[in-house]
Amino acid sequence: MSNETAEAIRPVGLPRLNEPAPAFEAVTTHGVIRLSDYEGSWLILFSHPADFTPVCTTEFIAFAEIYPELQKRGVELLGLSIDSVYSHIAWVRNIEEKTGVKIPFPIIADLNKEVASLYGMIMPGESKTETSRCVFVIDPKGILRAMIYYPLTTGRNMQEILRLIDALQTSDAHKVATPANWKPGDKVIVPAPNTVEMAEERVKAGYECVDWYLCRRSL
Amino acid sequence: MACINPDGTLTASAQMMLNALRTPATPVELAQRTERPLFRVRSTLRELAEAGLVEEHEGRYRLTAEGAARIQ
């Protein structure tokens, strides 16, 4: 089998939740960065289809706007697209010139698609040459904790990204889960009991329970 | 490289890091001293080490003779 054929049929894999995020070293607008440089802080690695495109520009402005809130939560941002570092530099300078918004985080210039392939950011059904709108949340130990995929047509919701970070950090801090539409301040879910004995104890524990498997509590 | 300009001069970030390293420090300590994100500090230190301007010993970074000579 030729290399070309092997390349053509190689399945595009996605990283898996709760496993180490794929390591990389990449050229960015802030120099060469490795995933391991982020050890000890949360990281949102996100991709966009292309520089100098309308939806991506609105997203970058929106990511820059939530960056201070992310920093309060110990979260860094790292963008990526299959563009050159010169294109990235020109684009962020253009955004600042036209809108006054400075892009404070680095952007990977993934011209050889190395990082995009590692993270399954390319959806050939949408585009073979652009990355989709992917978000990967990586925790301080380098574990992939969440993924969001949006199509080319649809800009991401920054409030949902903040909410996701809040939910993950709350789950870690208090060993709880969060219900649908949860936001900080809402009651959380007490993890379901694993045994009959634990279920019986659960209903006597004073939580707000619909039944033994669905109990809420305040933090 | 992000630390060294094409003409061989050091960037402002590199100069800041060399100045902060007048006293040896860990990356975490340097992040506090320079008020820069830890990932930027680690990336900058790696480039400075590759350029022979700093060296790491048991987790702490210090200036090499060449690094000390490049401080402005």
Q: pLDDT for A157-172, tens place per residue?
A: 999 999 999 999 999 9
Q: Are A129 and A82 in contact (CB under 8 A)?
A: yes
CATH of the structural domain B12-69, one choice from 3.30.450.40, 1.10.10.10, 3.30.460.80, 3.40.1190.20: 1.10.10.10
Taking the domains of chain B in order of start, what are their residue ranges? 12-69
Q: Identify the closest residue of chain A to B27 by CA–CA distance.
A: A37
* Dihedral over Cα of A199, A202, A203, A208: its sign: negative
Residue A150 included in any domain: yes
Which residues does chain B have with pLDDT short of 50?
none
Residue A133 included in any domain: yes
Residue A39 included in any domain: yes
Two tokens, residue A194? 């694993």
CATH number where A143 lies: 3.40.30.10
The predicted pLDDT at position A13 comes to 77
A116 shares a domain with A214? no
Residue A164 included in any domain: no
A188 shares a domain with A89? no
Residue A151 included in any domain: yes
CA A81 from chain centre, in angstroms, equals 15
A105, A122, A156 - which closes a domain? A156
Residue A161 included in any domain: no
The predicted pLDDT at position A12 comes to 59
A14 shares a domain with A116? yes
Enclosing domain of residue A46: 3-156
Q: Are A32 and B1 an interchain contact pair (Cβ–Cβ within 8 Å)?
A: yes
Q: What is the pLDDT of residues B28-44, one digit of tens each?
A: 999 999 999 999 999 99
User: Which of A37, A43, A78 is best to mutate for the B interface (most B CBs within 10 A)?
Assistant: A37
CA distance A10 to A6: 6
- Is the model more confident about A101 or about A11? A101
A186 shares a domain with A145? no
The predicted pLDDT at position A159 comes to 98
CA distance B14 to B21: 11
User: How big is chain A, counted in residues?
Assistant: 219
User: Has A56 been annotated as catalytic?
Assistant: yes
In A11-50, the residues whose Cβ lies within 8 Å of chain B are: 30-34, 36-38, 40-41
A125 shares a domain with A215? no
A218 shares a domain with A128? no
- Cα–Cα–Cα angle for A77, B34, A88, rounded to 5 degrees: 35
In B1-20, the residues whose Cβ lies within 8 Å of chain A are: 1-3
A114 shares a domain with A29? yes
Name beta bridge partners: A118: none
Percent of chain A, pLDDT > 70?
95
Residue A65 included in any domain: yes
Q: Are B39 and A76 an interchain contact pair (Cβ–Cβ within 8 Å)?
A: yes
Q: What is the pLDDT of residues A119-149, one digit of tens each?
A: 999 999 999 999 999 999 999 999 999 999 9
Total number of domains in chain A: 2
What's the gap in Å between the CA of A63 and the closest CA on chain B? 17
CB contacts, 8 Å: B43 with chain A: 30-34, 37
Q: How far is CA A92 from CA A48, A70, A85, A95, B3, in A?
A: 13, 20, 11, 5, 20
A71 shares a domain with A11? yes
Two tokens, residue B57? 């010993």
CA A100 from chain centre, in angstroms, equals 26
CATH number where A196 lies: 3.30.1020.10
A60 shares a domain with A20? yes
CB contacts, 8 Å: A32 with chain B: 1-2, 43, 46-47
Residue A163 included in any domain: no
A90 shares a domain with A59? yes
A127 shares a domain with A83? yes
A108, A124, A156 - which closes a domain? A156
